[in-house]
Amino acid sequence: MADFAGIADALMKGKAPEVKELVDAAVKEGVPPGEILSEGLIAGMSVIGVRFKNNEVYVPEVLIAARAMHAGMDVLKPLLAEAGIEPKGVFALGTVKGDLHDIGKNLVLMMMEGAGYEVNDLGVDVAPEKFVDAVNDGAQIIGMSALLTTTMPAMKTAIETINAAGVRDKVKIMVGGAPLTQAFADEIGADGFAPDAASAVDTADELLTKA
Ligand code: B1M
């Protein structure tokens, strides 16, 4: 009997070697990798997401939990690929042109990966054309992050570049970052806004349902 609760609990406590050991054991027992992912790893990461949103845990705890999640994912990834398990969606995220802040962006990526999305990290200081390339590479949702009031306009430029490239109808665009608001997201023509990394997962899920 696979110890899903044990996997989730070890993940929440950031115990990477224990997560790996329990995931290995479940695989050896013949538990389907998709089940280990959703009932163990994603279940644990979802709890961390809720606690983070409620200010019950902070950035370091999320980073440690994400590291533990990766230890489990390293075991599962090849098996998921073999089993042909489809990700929930494909999400590409970058910090916009001129902006080098990446701590929040990385948290969003970890939460999205923990929620079952395939993620593509575009990095920081991302030129508008790179977002277009990501759409052409199959991203269903483009995420843009900005931490500076001076780089917020780069989001608008990136959306205009996506429009001009004729690929806007292929993708949903979500924006976030400390200085942003829903009103700003609406103004620049984004489809969604999320105030924190855990809400980003909810927003992405909603955007895909609307797609
Ligand atoms: Co910078 N910095 N910084 N900085 N920095 C701020 C943002 C600032 C508020 C500090 C201040 O003055 N009080 C200020 C901006 C002021 C403004 O624009 N109004 C500032 C400035 C001015 C600068 C420089 C210009 C300083 C200088 O050189 N004179 C410079 C700019 C460099 C550049 O980008 N071109 C600069 C540089 C740096 C460092 C390199 C030193 C470093 C970045 C290191 C790194 O990221 N690797 C840094 C840091 C660390 C900060 C502070 C201290 C912390 C930012 C952070 O990581 N927060 C910040 C002050 C502060 O916030 N106290 C500050 C934690 C992180 C988890 O939160 O990124 O908001 P956050 O992400 C959240 C949400 O916003 C959301 O989810 C995350 C998790 O919940 N979210 C999304 C983020 N992206 C999302 C995308 C989504 C959805 C949600 O969907 C796509």
**Residue-level pLDDT at 53:** 87
Q: Is the pLDDT of residue 81 over 80?
A: no
Q: Ligand 1 centre from 146 Cα, in Å?
A: 8
| Segment among 87-96, 113-122, 152-161 with least mean pLDDT | 113-122
> Ligand 1 test: best mutation among 63, 96, 101, most atoms within 8 Å of CB?
101
Distance (Å, rounded) from C-alpha 178 to C-alpha 99?
13
Identify whether the C-beta of residue 193 lies closer than 8 Å to the C-beta of residue 180: yes
Using pLDDT thresholds of 50, 70 and 90, give the confidence band for residue 110: confident
**Residue-level pLDDT at 1:** 73
Using pLDDT thresholds of 50, 70 and 90, give the confidence band for residue 41: very high
Nearest to 176 by CA among 152, 160, 153, 208: 152
- Which residue's CA is the nearest one to ligand 1's atom 43? 101
Kindly state the average pLDDT of the residues 72-84.
86
Kindly state the average pLDDT of the residues 99-114.
89
- 180 vs 106, which has greater pLDDT? 180
Beta strand extents in the chain (DSSP E only): 90-96, 118-126, 141-145, 172-176, 192-193
Distance (Å, rounded) from C-alpha 89 to C-alpha 177?
22
Distance (Å, rounded) from C-alpha 158 to C-alpha 127?
8
Q: Is the pLDDT of residue 115 over 90?
A: no
- Which residue's CA is the nearest one to ligand 1's atom 60? 147
Residues forming CATH 3.40.50.280 domain(s) in the chain: 90-210
CATH code for residues 90-210: 3.40.50.280
* CATH architecture, domain defined by 4-82: Orthogonal Bundle (1.10)
Q: Which residues line ligand 1 (CB under 6 A)?
A: 59, 93, 98-105, 107-108, 143-145, 147-150, 174-179, 194, 196-197, 200
Residues forming CATH 1.10.1240.10 domain(s) in the chain: 4-82
Please tell me the pTM assigned to this model: 0.89
Q: Ligand 1 centre from 104 Cα, in Å?
A: 8
Q: Ligand 1 centre from 90 Cα, in Å?
A: 25
Using pLDDT thresholds of 50, 70 and 90, give the confidence band for residue 38: confident
